[in-house]
Amino acid sequence: MKKHTRTLLKVGIVLCAVLGLLSSASADQCQPKRLDWMLGEEKCGDLVFADVIEVMHTCEDVQLRARAAAGLGQYRGPEVFSALYRVFDADRSPMVREAALNALGAIIQRNALKPGREIMEAFFLVYQFDRYAPNRARARELLEKFKVSQKLLSERSYVSARYKALLPMKVYASATKKSASKVALKPDEGFRILDELSANNQQTCWFKIETSKGESGWVCGLLDSREYFGTDDIPPRPFESSVRSLIEISNPSQAFELELRSNHPDNMFRSGDEIIFFAKPAQDCFVTLIYFSAQSGGYILYPNRDQTDMRISAGTEVRIPAEGSSLVFKASKPGVEEISAIATRMPIEIFSDQEVEQGSLSAIKTGRQLTARSIDRLLRYFQPDSWAIAHNAITVVE
């Protein structure tokens, strides 16, 4: 019995030592001087880079998390984007979310990144759901910079979820319990949030609210890890698309013509025939040509290895592939092949790097339906007069 007790005691000592080391390692990670070194490291290795992201997500110090988020604005890539997106969705601190939003804006400006689906959705996430009003205003500013649809901005503007008091709550004139109490909320009494205090953190959160009776003021919604209100209301997320293929995407309000034709007027080909496409926009724009085959999947036909410039001048008809190019498109097995041309006044990122496999022709990794829905969602973010789409279909016979 005594031997067994001594063994348990030793195990306990070892566990305590391990937990102590882990706690110490975590504490070391959240040291300002260490973060200074990591952010100052010009050749940021993978481990150092991951450590900066960990600081942003896990450290209790709000100032440190905000500095880590701001520091990530020096870099770009899917890991950075995912890390910043998670901050928008989960961090209690408006200061950290603001730093993450500005970091993403800095990445876009410095790298001249084209707006894509993920970037637009991140900005809309903040614009629709961030309870800190200055963050919503900044997100709107960034969205308008990308010529986002004004209709979508109005349809998807911030609408607070419906909250209810979990415990009796006082509504104060300002964000301090030293101010005058204006009204008291009973358990289950509803209200909506208008704004929050910029200094909110994991321990204390103050929110500006409006009661169901139209009275406004400030409530302390979190104190010493105890939450005083909650919600079962889930506001609508950015819209989902229901299209099944690219040819179902249309723009009734498009302001310029986009012609798309093949080298056979009747679009009938026999197996082995060479296929040539011609795209002709009525205005200066940036064009992407997408081809889906039932047998071989999807490909980006334009731009391609020999035609890297997406920009086409108004009234210019571009041959795809180019005359003399080593790329040759040939009809394969019998069936119907879909071709879509997308033209935008400003360059946008139709596909992320993870969605295509680079080559002479970039292969599309996502299937026909998922690709169509992703592109439909992306295009609907922009003003209808800023993009046009054209479709064609060729029939291959034996």
- Map out the domains of the chain as residue ranges: 18-155, 163-230, 246-397
The per-residue pLDDT string of the chain (398 residues; one tens digit each, 9 = 90 and over) reads 444 434 433 434 333 333 343 344 355 678 888 888 888 765 455 556 788 899 999 999 999 999 999 988 887 777 888 899 899 988 999 999 999 999 998 888 876 678 888 889 899 999 999 999 999 999 999 999 888 999 989 988 898 999 999 999 999 999 999 999 999 999 999 999 999 999 998 889 999 999 999 999 999 998 887 899 999 887 666 678 899 999 999 999 999 999 999 999 999 999 899 999 999 999 999 999 999 987 778 999 999 999 999 999 999 999 999 998 989 998 888 889 999 999 999 999 999 888 999 888 899 998 899 999 999 999 999 999 999 999 999 999 98
d(CA 67, CA 396): 58
d(CA 384, CA 124): 18
In the numeric block, which tokens belong to residue 287?
């064009």
- Pick one of 1.10.150, 1.25.40, 2.40.128, 3.30.2350 as the CATH number of 18-155: 1.25.40
Cα–Cα distances (Å) from 27 to 13, 17, 24, 31, 331, in that order, read 21, 15, 5, 7, 63
In angstroms, the first-to-last Cα distance of the chain is: 86
Q: DSSP strand E in 212-332: where?
A: 216-223, 226-227, 229-230, 258-262, 268-270, 274-275, 277-281, 285-293, 297-302, 311-312, 318-320, 329-330
d(CA 74, CA 84): 13
- Domain 163-230: state its class: mainly beta
Q: What pTM was estimated for this model as a whole?
A: 0.80
- Match 């995912």 to its residue by tokens: 82
Q: Which CATH architecture has domain 246-397?
A: Sandwich (2.60)
DSSP 386: G
